[in-house]
Chains A and B, each alone.
Chain A
Amino acid sequence: MVAMNVVVCVKQIPDPAAPQSLEPGSHTLDRSGKLILDDSDAYGVEMALQLAEQAGGGEVTLVSMAPNGETSGLRTALAMGAAKAILISDEALKGSDALGTAKVLAAAIKRAEPDLIIAATESSDGYTGTTPVQIAELLGLPSITFAKSVAIDGSTVKVDRQTEAGYDEVTAPLPAVVTVTAGVVEPRYPSFKGIMAAKSKPVDTLGVADLGLDAGAVGAAGGRQEITAVNDAEARAAGEIVVDEGDGAQRIAAFLEQLKLI
């Protein structure tokens, strides 16, 4: 079998367990605090590692766009077994929208010349959900999104793709972009050996100029969109909260009966 090179797009996001806030002025997400590997991307990294292993070897390269030269999320994924990372970090990228991000990632991915590109269906912080497909179009590649299972057969990728009615079996010739849903595989825990090895795995840091991109096409200006207001949503008041004293089920049944559902 021919070794297969896989690129995984990973995002380093503000820790969801910490309070989130918007920057005054632009109202974009404040990314100045601690950034960690998006949970959604653990599935992509694991899938890539498994596919590379099944193909008899090959490299998993991480590609990530992050502010301030952030690498902590990359080290987590490198500790899982990825071979190296390409990080694009540049002041000019602040406030980038999905298309701008896709242009940056596509330019970086092109340098890696992968057989397969894997990403999550959407990030946990921005959840625009279009970046991987935008990358596919920019690179002139096929894409299969919402993969429940992924297998490589020679130079073809075979995916079970989620649909409204169930799932479709979809195939595409490599190279291709595949996005994976959560729970599609169980991500491995990095071993101590993996964590130590990750410290010295190469992280190639690039700026906008290195990728030959026009600064006007990326960042906030390239996004061509703005947030005009942020307001509290209408709060939904709570009703009756009671402690179950053996009567909880009856209370629910009575509630359903009153709604004429039973």
Chain B
Amino acid sequence: MAIAKIWVVAEPADGGLTTTTLELLTEARSLASTVEAVTWGTTDVSTLAGDYGATTVHSVGDIGDALPGAPVAAAIAAAIAAGQGPDAILIPTSYDGRDIAGRLSARADLPVLTNITGLDGGDALSTQHPVFGGTQIVNARFTDQGPGIFVIRAKSFTPEPSGGAPAALATLAVPDLGATNSASVAARHVEERSGPKLDEAQVVVSGGRGLGEAANYSMIEELAKLLNGAAGASRAIVDAGWVPYSHQVGQTGKTVKPTVYLACGISGATQHMVGMKGSKNIVAINKDADAPIFTIADLGIVGDVHKVLPALIEALKSR
């Protein structure tokens, strides 16, 4: 038995949809008879969404310089109020996804479950969430009339096309938003990035407090570059202002699942491990033999990062 209809909030990106969106569309197919997408902007995503199982794309259209949170949430809330909503709404954990989820929850007076890494189907959905650094999994569900709002972490599911026909396009009306829509984007800055995105890289080299000082993070960047990977960081050094929040891996940062994750000078706080435990291989360098990171490392070097990293960089350069 499945639920009747799921709406997946489909986040536009680079002329298509985000990878997390495709992950949610894929999962939604196994949970509901009908899967539809809700989106915004000017790009026509009907072919892509259809290829991943959506039969209709509801769009609020061009939002101009506004942030998507208020208009998309209000449009979904209005559809629900008009009896035209779904039985469940899946939303990617992303900057805009969280805005949409929060505003929708408040506007429609519906509770929200977030930080979801798994879903179980049936007459109603139930959720899985990692807690205590991912050492335990909590199962949860809504107890009242829906639709339920589910905010799901990246890389919880594997995206797979269904080869479906292009979805039908429908307009989703946006009601009056008042001051909730008064934020506007004045300029958009794309960070120059050499190398792969942190959450897409096959190799991630990450640094933590054990590096000693901000200047030593350059070793992390150099090693990442030599391995054609991305540079990441523990929350500790982001808090300390050594690197920007965009580098953060963990509960409150990015979830990464690379082929190799190199944790350098990272102790392995539980909230960090949540973000990288799914890596296929983990290498850790830390001078403390009792550091929790060693409990999940496939190869652990108990040693000084200030010695091991330069030696590793040299070894790679001379190949």
Contacts and interface: CB of A to CB of B under 8 A. Distances in A.
The 6 closest A-B pairs by CB, nearest first: A244-B303, A133-B102, A249-B311, A166-B191, A137-B106, A130-B102
A169 B182 contact: no
Interface stretch (B1-9, B108-116, B161-169): B108-116
B69 A248 contact: no
Given A183-B245, A244-B303, A252-B301, 7 more contacts: A133-B106, A171-B184, A225-B111, A225-B141, A231-B137, A232-B136, A241-B299
A138 to B, nearest CB: 5
Contact of B69 (A122, A143, A252): A143
Interface residues of B, number: 96
Contacts of A97: 111-112
A239 interface: yes
Q: Give the interface centre of B239, B240, B281, B316 by most chain A CB atoms within 10 Å.
A: B239
B315 A249 contact: yes
Contact of A229 (B102, B106, B139, B304): B139
A1 interface: no
Please report whether the interface of chain B is mostly helix, strand, loop or mixed according to DSSP.
mixed
Interface stretch (B25-33, B81-89, B93-101): B93-101
Interface string B292-319: 0011111111111001110110111001
A213 interface: no
Given A169-B186, A230-B138, A182 B245 contact: yes
A233 B178 CA distance: 45
Interface in B242-295: 244-246, 251-252, 259-260, 262, 271, 277, 281, 283, 285, 289, 294-295
A228 B138 CA distance: 8
A172 interface: yes
A33 to B, nearest CB: 15
Given A133-B69, A134-B103, A256 B227 contact: yes
Nearest to A229: B139
B238 interface: yes
Contacts of A98: 102, 105, 111-112, 114
Contact of B134 (A158, A233, A249): A233
B152 interface: no
B140 A225 contact: yes
Contacts of A244: 285, 301-304, 307-308
Given A99-B112, A133-B69, A133-B103, A226 B296 contact: no
Contacts of B182: 142, 172-173, 176
Given A98-B112, A186-B241, A134 B102 contact: yes
Interface of A: 20, 22, 27, 39, 97-99, 102, 121-122, 124, 127-138, 140-146, 148, 158, 161-173, 176, 181-183, 186, 223-233, 236, 238-244, 248-253, 255-256, 259, 261-262
B194 interface: no
B299 A243 contact: no
Given A148-B244, A173-B179, A233 B135 contact: yes
B215 interface: no
Contacts of B190: 165-166
A252 B98 CA distance: 39
Given A131-B102, A236-B277, A121 B252 contact: yes
Nearest to B310: A249
Contact of A171 (B186, B189, B227, B319): B186
Given A133-B98, A261-B202, A168 B139 contact: no
A252 B179 CA distance: 55
Given A141-B179, A168-B187, A242-B302, A259 B259 contact: yes
